Amino acid sequence: MKVLAVAYACDPRVGSEAGIGWNWVRQIASRYDCWVITRENNVERVKTWAQDQGLDRLHVIGFDLPPWMRFWKRGRRGALLYFYLWQLGTTRCARALDREHNFDVVHHLTFASSWIPSGLSPLNKPFVWGPVGQHPRVPDRFLLASDLKLRLAELVKSLVRRFLPACDPFMRRTLRSADCILSLGQEGRGKLRSVDDRPVESMLACGAPVPELAEDRWTRGGPFRVVYAGRLVDLKGVCLAVDAFARAAGTRGDMELHLAGDGPRRDWLERRARRLGIWSRVHFHGHLPQGDTLALMESADAFLFPSFEGAGMVVVEALARGCPVVCLDFGGPGQMVGDDRGLRVPLGTRDQTVAGLATAIASLHADEDLRLRLARGAHAWARRYATWDYKGTRLAEIYSMAMNRRRRAS
């Protein structure tokens, strides 16, 4: 079988979206002949790693828009607009490759945005789209009242994600052409299934290596360590995390919070920790290399991640390290964390939600049997469902569904 994949973000050296792109490509290329279109600055690294891992069936093609179309892109600024234009630009490259190789399946990988079209949709080939999804809107009550800019940004993003698929002809074409959609979450799965009878499969975008854990991993030693990992932004609920920890810690002198990550809320969080009297027990690590973040998780007694996002990829990494997760019963984390591997807190008012998170943390601190059961459950679930090899084994089923639907439609 010949597969053409598109992975805008694809870098073996890092985690997040680029690491996801690489790992999906690696799984495809270990099973099929795979051609991947990615950014030109990814090509040499992907080729080097593919050679080191013996992926002889992987062919890497670099593509970028001309310089005059990308001079304004700097870091995160303009990234989504550039990605949108890049997707449209890949169509010509993909068609040329298809004329040469006659692909059996085409597969859109990163970014995981269900409101941005794919350049593979015009190829008239069995087309797998995803995993894709989107972040739900952060409820206003969980945003700082003084941050009017952020409130406006959340409103605009919500409107764009809601109406763009209906207004954008390229997006409508993507939806019509997709023969199998991999959906990050149940909410998106319901919306996408309503389009027609196409297969829509739930699929986490990310996987994680799941190490064997030493027996002493399951026993507490020293202070009760709560870990948060992610950007310090409102979407990830980090302000709730600090407030909830302060309530849970109370007079318990053996609790500490470790924050791995950086972002625009750091100054506010540092002031907040001082105001709440927990400054000596909150450790700001800043941005850490992925290996150091994973090591911090493996030392944690609980992973606190009250994020509103649609995915929550870091949750999978925490579960793989045997961390019971405390999260919101909302969005991606709420769907990943079952009752056998964490504690989910329903949304209420802001104060009710903070109180619920604090109660969950305190429960894990007070009940060692509960914490141990959830920690072992987290690791067991990750070993079964969260490895990259597990996702790779599902590719045959996914591609078969796409090809069967395309044949029926012909």
What confidence tens digit (pLDDT) does each residue in 108-150 have?
A: 998 877 778 899 999 999 999 988 877 777 777 877 766 666 6
Percent of the chain with pLDDT over 70: 90
pLDDT given for residue 122 in this prediction: 93
Quickly tell me which residue has 């800043």 as its tokens: 286
Distances, alpha carbon 151 to alpha carbons 78, 113, 311, 353, in Å: 20, 21, 21, 20
Quickly tell me which residue has 């179309």 as its tokens: 69
pLDDT given for residue 311 in this prediction: 77
pLDDT given for residue 231 in this prediction: 92
pLDDT given for residue 78 in this prediction: 67
Rounded distance between C-alpha atoms, residue 371 and residue 382, angstroms: 17
Rounded distance between C-alpha atoms, residue 30 and residue 36, angstroms: 13
Residues 6+ apart with CB under 8 A from 86: 8, 39, 63, 64, 65, 119
pLDDT given for residue 48 in this prediction: 94
pLDDT given for residue 375 in this prediction: 96
Q: Which tokens sit at 56?
A: 């002889």
Q: How many CB atoms lie within 10 A of CB 210?
A: 24
- Residues in the chain predicted with pLDDT less than 50, given as ranges, are 194
Condensed to tens digits (0 to 9), the pLDDT of residues 249-289 reads 987 889 999 999 999 999 999 999 999 999 999 999 999 98
pLDDT given for residue 121 in this prediction: 92
pLDDT given for residue 145 in this prediction: 65
Q: What is the pTM of this model?
A: 0.84
Q: Which domains does the chain have, with CATH numbers?
A: 2-207+388-409 (3.40.50.2000), 215-385 (3.40.50.2000)
Q: How far apart are the two ends of the chain, measured CA to CA in Å?
A: 20
308-318 burial, b at 16+ Cβ within 10 Å, e below that, comes to bbbbbbbbbbb
pLDDT given for residue 150 in this prediction: 66
Strand partners of residue 142: none
Cβ atoms of 334 and 311 closer than 8 Å: no
Q: Which tokens sit at 152?
A: 């406006």
Distances, alpha carbon 13 to alpha carbons 22, 53, 57, 260, 390, in Å: 9, 14, 20, 19, 21
Cβ atoms of 188 and 310 closer than 8 Å: yes
Nearest CA among 149, 124, 128 for reference residue 3: 128
Rounded distance between C-alpha atoms, residue 89 and residue 313, angstroms: 28
